Structures are given as structure tokens and as C-alpha cells.
Amino acid sequence: MSSGATGDAFDWDAYWTDADEEKREEASPSSHHAADVLPEFVDRFDAPPGVADVGCGAGVTTFTAADRLAETVVGYDTAAPVVERNRDRAEREGVENVRFEQATLPTFDPDREFGIVFSYFTLQYVRDVERTLENLYAAVAPGGALVCNYMNRAARDFCLVAADDPHANVDHPFVFDPDQYTERFGALLDGDSVLSRERIYETLGTWPRSAFTIADRPDVRWAWHHAPLVYVPK
Ligand SMILES: C[S@@+](CC[C@H](N)C(=O)[O-])C[C@H]1O[C@@H](n2cnc3c(N)ncnc32)[C@H](O)[C@@H]1O
């Protein structure tokens, strides 16, 4: 599906190096809703122990889940600077049930299985999204679930309009850095990382279900239409 029309992979290491508060917030979409949804989901789903937060960024959901749950929560991210910073925070705040490791999707080969493998607003950045799904799902313990959101065709259409002239869109909340827009969303704009319920089913052999059949839906938001939050039980 890739046209190769858009730029090279976005440099997340550079993004997170000395990221100021604005950049940290911009790359922490989970803070708006998912940080509360995940611990509630874990409580109600009654999965085997262990939670992985893959593409954890600044760790908003990772730290919230560790605070609300007794079990171990491990945050993974491709960017070494944010992993280091999260480790420092865990040590400073004395959070004992959280760990942070570097991992770059589509490769994901942790040294253990997790009851819940969670990934939020990260799959859209990975071109080989099917291998990503397979590897995340392989890390789920039997009786657990992969919980993730994905950007669908509506999200891609939305981004294609914005990519046409990112500078024209500066009043819109979904803008990011206009000069890096096509690099950042290259995999989505090219169509490689666009997912659907059907594509997830064809890849994993199990239909995804809305996470809001388990956890309460916080609000009606842009995210729920363009980036559905689903779970795939195992
Ligand atoms: C938009 S942020 C979302 C952060 C967090 N999940 C949240 O919602 O608050 C995407 C994160 O995915 C990470 N990321 C991007 N590509 C990745 C890859 N191939 N493997 C692992 N992490 C990746 C980035 O470094 C960034 O921290």
C-alpha cells in the first residue's frame, strides 16, 4: 500500500531529547482519557498479572496504572531519552512496581508475558503494523488481552487533508509541528499503518472488541471515531 511518497521515519530520539513541557504534553494523548481507562479495564478484565505499556512516551498511563494497580507495569518506548527520564522519575518518586525498557516496534520480545499488553497512539507510526500486532499479541498471557487503539481510514483521510498544507491548519488541535508533519505521519499517510477491525482479525485470528464494553467510556471524542480503542482477548 505504501506509495513511498512521504518522508523517512520520524526521529523520536531527537523529539524526546530535552523535550519541554509542551512537547511532552503533545506526545501524551493518553493523559486525556486512556490513563484512567487502562487501570479500570485491568481491574474489570481480571487478566493474569503484569501490564506492558508499549510506546509509553512520557509514561502518563504507565505511572497512573502503577499507582492504581498492585501489579508490575512495564513501559516500553523506542526513544532512549524518554526511557531514561521515566526511570529517573520512578527512582525519584520511589515507585516500586514500575519499570522502563527500550523496545522498537515491530520488534517486541520481552522476557515475560503480560496479562495486558497496552499500546496507545503508537501503532500508526509503524509501517509493519501487522508484524507489530503479532508480536504484541504474542506477549499476551493466555486469559489476557491486547488493548490498543489504531488509526483508521477516517483518521488517514483527516491527516491527508492536514498534510496537504500543515501550516494552514494551525488553529486545529490535531496539528503538531507543521514542518515535521509528513515525516511524523508518513506510515499513516502512505496507508501502511491504517488498521480496521477486519485487518486486526485477519492478522490475529480473533475479532477486536470495543474496550468500552469493559471500561466506562469517558466521553465522546474525536479519538473514538478515528482511533478506536479495542481489546483482543487471548
Ligand atoms: C504519540 S506518543 C504516545 C505516548 C503514550 N502512549 C501516550 O499516549 O501518552 C507515541 C510514542 O511512541 C513511541 N514510538 C514511536 N515509534 C515507536 C516504535 N516503533 N516502537 C516503540 N515506540 C515507538 C514514541 O517515542 C512516542 O513516545
Say how many C-beta atoms besides its own lie within 10 A of residue 112's C-beta. Answer: 11
Best-predicted range by mean pLDDT (6-20, 82-96, 179-193): 82-96
- Residue 174's pLDDT band, with cuts at 50, 70 and 90, is low
**Mean pLDDT calculated for residue range 49-70:** 97
Residues with Cβ within 8 Å of 230's Cβ and at least 6 positions away in sequence, in order, are 147, 148, 149, 150, 197, 200, 208, 209, 210, 211
Measured from the Cα of 34, ligand 1's closest atom is: 8
Interval between CA 149 and ligand 1 midpoint (Å): 12
- Is the pLDDT reported for residue 7 higher than 90? no
Burial class (CB in 10 A: 0-12, 13-18, 19+), 170: exposed
User: Helix H segments across the chain?
Assistant: 12-16, 21-26, 34-45, 60-68, 80-93, 129-138, 153-164, 181-184, 186-189, 197-204, 222-226
Does any ligand 1 atom lie closer than 6 A to the CB of residue 126? yes
Does any ligand 1 atom lie closer than 6 A to the CB of residue 77? yes
**Mean pLDDT calculated for residue range 66-70:** 97
The residue ranges of every structural domain in the chain are 12-233
Interval between CA 55 and ligand 1 midpoint (Å): 4
Tens digit of each residue's pLDDT (9 = 90 or more) over 81-108: 999 999 999 999 999 999 999 999 999 9
Where does 12-233 sit in CATH, by number? 3.40.50.150
- Pair 80, 101: CB distance under 8 Å: no
Rounded Cα gap, residues 105 and 41, in angstroms:
24
- Pair 150, 124: CB distance under 8 Å: yes
What pLDDT sits at residue 221? 64
What pLDDT sits at residue 170? 59
Tens digit of each residue's pLDDT (9 = 90 or more) over 109-131: 999 999 999 999 999 999 999 99
What pLDDT sits at residue 22? 87
Among 26-35, 119-128, 166-175, 209-218, the minimum mean pLDDT is found in 166-175
What pLDDT sits at residue 3? 40
**Mean pLDDT calculated for residue range 26-33:** 87
